[in-house]
Amino acid sequence: MAELKADTVVLGAGMVGVSAALHLQKRGRDVALIDRHNVAGEETSFGNAGIIECASIFPYMFPRDVGEILNYALNRTPQMRYRVLDLPEFLPWLFRYYLASSPARALASARAELPLIRQSLIEHEALVAEAGVPGLLRKTGWLKLYRSEASLAKAVHEVTRAKAYGLDNQVLDAKAIAAREPHLTGKFAGGVYLPTPGFVPDPGGLAKAYAALFGRRGGRFFVGDGRTLEQHGRNWRIATLQGSITAREVVLAMGPWSDQVLAPLGYAIPLQVKRGYHVHVAPRDNAVMNAPVLDADLGYCLAPMNRGIRVTTGVEFARRDAPASSAQLDLAVPRARKLFPLGEVIDAKPWKGARPCLPDMLPVIGRAPRHPGLWFDFGHQHHGLTLGPVTGRLLAEMMTGETPFADTGPFAAERFG
């Protein structure tokens, strides 16, 4: 096969990688996008609640409440479970996560990510318009429900805290919840409505639409394995089914698989995964859900996807490729049926995915410290769908010598030594 060439190779065609490819392409780079699947958006980007969380300015940090931690340790909560066999592997990472979740460090992470969160929906709106898929972005916001007065009080505190950052989230009583989502049933202490986030009723489809835009603009898509990446003089080379590609620069955007490239190159960046599951269920009796709904105390989320009502779980700590567990969905689906009229399960089997996380809940974006031409764009934790386009812009500005619109220091790989 002939040797292929590009200015830049992007490894990974999830929301993060496709967005980086588009922003580099806009700036005149000849970009080759490579994924192990023959289409974009088949892994982590496929399975989530579809929320562009431009109002979620505080990262998902490790809890500091002793009682809550004890419940997690006993594996009793639907919000978080862990695979006991994998405990030795991820326990050291959990300790780093706990340390990074101190009030001061958590606030520092929130402030670092705030410019990205604020810009996230704007960047999606631009790409949705360019891709010509307005039906894949809805301005619905989303709703969080609280069953106990204690959990509602914590949520109200967060609403007050968020007002300092210009967010006007709304506290709802039971009557207001019923007015917004009339087909919900149950007793609630109250809820919080976040009006500004966007909703994507087909996250995997949106990644594919962005990839199609990349292709229409001359971008090339290849099927290949990121583990074949190697330095070749001043360039980089990677094998694909269509032949080897040589490029001056490579962007590592392989999400939870980024360690497969990092480790052979000698980088000890503490990447871990939080796994999650979803299944689609048909609504009954012509019931309609207007926006995603989080049943906060019971640890699951419902999202009105094009395919059906998506029931998504909380976090599972386990090895990325460990066998799937039905435990969280076994709890979530019966509870969801009591909240909203649900019929038959649509999917032949549940979907399992992995969120790539660093202890400080910030992605790694920027230049690889010891390898010229290698750039990082991974570790977006729960916000891969939200942040993909905005971090793609930030990275492209860094790579092309523009002045970045946000401070890049907090996202540098060097923060881990």
Instruction: Give the integer Cα–Cα distance in Å for 194 and 55.
Output: 7
- Could you identify the residue written with the tokens 């859900």? 289
Q: Which residues pair with 235 in a beta bridge?
A: 232
Q: Provide CB contacts within 8 A for 311, sequence distance 6+.
A: 278, 279, 280, 281, 300, 301, 302, 329, 332, 333, 336
Instruction: Specify the fold of 4-46+204-270+360-416.
Output: FAD/NAD(P)-binding domain (3.50.50)
Reply yes or no on whether the pLDDT at 75 is more than 80.
yes
Whether 202 has a pLDDT exceeding 80, the answer reads yes
Is the predicted pLDDT of residue 76 greater than 80, yes or no?
Answer: no
pLDDT (mean) for 363-385: 97
Distance, CA of 375 to CA of 368 (rounded, Å): 5
Q: Each residue of 3-12: pLDDT tens digit?
A: 799 999 999 9
Contact between 295 and 335 under an 8 Å Cβ cutoff? The reply is yes
Sequence-distant (≥ 6) Cβ neighbours of residue 276 within 8 angstroms: 47, 48, 312, 313, 314, 315, 316, 352, 353, 354, 355
* Identity of the residue numbered 250: V
- The Cα–Cα gap between 46 and 205 comes to 8
Total-model pTM: 0.96
The Cα 9–Cα 29 span in angstroms is 10
Count of Cβ atoms closer than 10 Å to residue 210 Cβ: 30
pLDDT in tens, 291-332: 999 999 999 999 999 999 999 999 999 999 999 999 999 999
Pick from 287, 290, 297: which is nearest to 179 by CA?
290
CA distance 51 to 194: 11
d(CA 127, CA 320): 30
Kindly state the percentage of the chain with pLDDT values over 70.
100
DSSP 3-state assignment of 59?
Answer: coil
What mean pLDDT comes out for the span 192-218? 98
Do 1 and 239 meet the contact criterion of CB atoms below 8 Å apart? no
Minimum mean pLDDT range among 18-27, 77-86, 146-155, 281-290? 77-86
pLDDT of residue 66: 85
Q: For residue 9, which phi and psi values (nearest 5 degrees)?
A: -110, 130
Sign, CA torsion 307/135/47/11: positive
Which residue ranges make up each domain of the chain?
4-46+204-270+360-416, 66-93+137-197+275-356
The answer to whether 374 and 232 are in contact (CB under 8 A) is no
> Greater confidence, 66 or 270?
270
* CA–CA–CA angle 47, 362, 144 (5° rounding): 50
Contact 407, 115 (CB under 8 A): yes
Predicted pLDDT of residue 1: 59
Residue 166: the pLDDT is 86
Task: Please determine, for residue 383, whether its predicted confidence score (pLDDT) is greater than 70.
Answer: yes
Q: Rounded distance, CA 204 to CA 40, Å?
A: 8
pLDDT for 33-52, tens place per residue? Answer: 999 999 999 999 999 899 99
Pick the CATH number of 66-93+137-197+275-356 from 3.30.9.10, 3.50.50.60, 2.60.40.10, 3.30.1320.10: 3.30.9.10
The mean per-residue pLDDT over the stretch 122-145 comes to 98
Secondary structure element (H or E) that encloses residue 96, with its range: helix 87-100
Structure tokens at 304: 């009105």
Closest CA to 387 of 194, 9, 121: 121
**Which whole-number Å values give the CA distances from 64 to 69, 97, 154, 251, in the listed order?**
7, 11, 13, 36
- The residues, ordered by sequence, that sit 6+ positions from 281 with a Cβ below 8 Å of its Cβ are 308, 309, 311, 333, 336, 342, 343, 344, 345, 346
Mean pLDDT of the chain: 95
Give 197's pLDDT tier (boundaries 50, 70, 90).
very high
Predicted confidence at residue 2, as pLDDT, reads 67
**pLDDT at 62 exceeding the cut of 70:** yes
Sheet strands (E) in 132-232:
142-146, 170-172, 190-194, 198-199, 220-223, 230-232
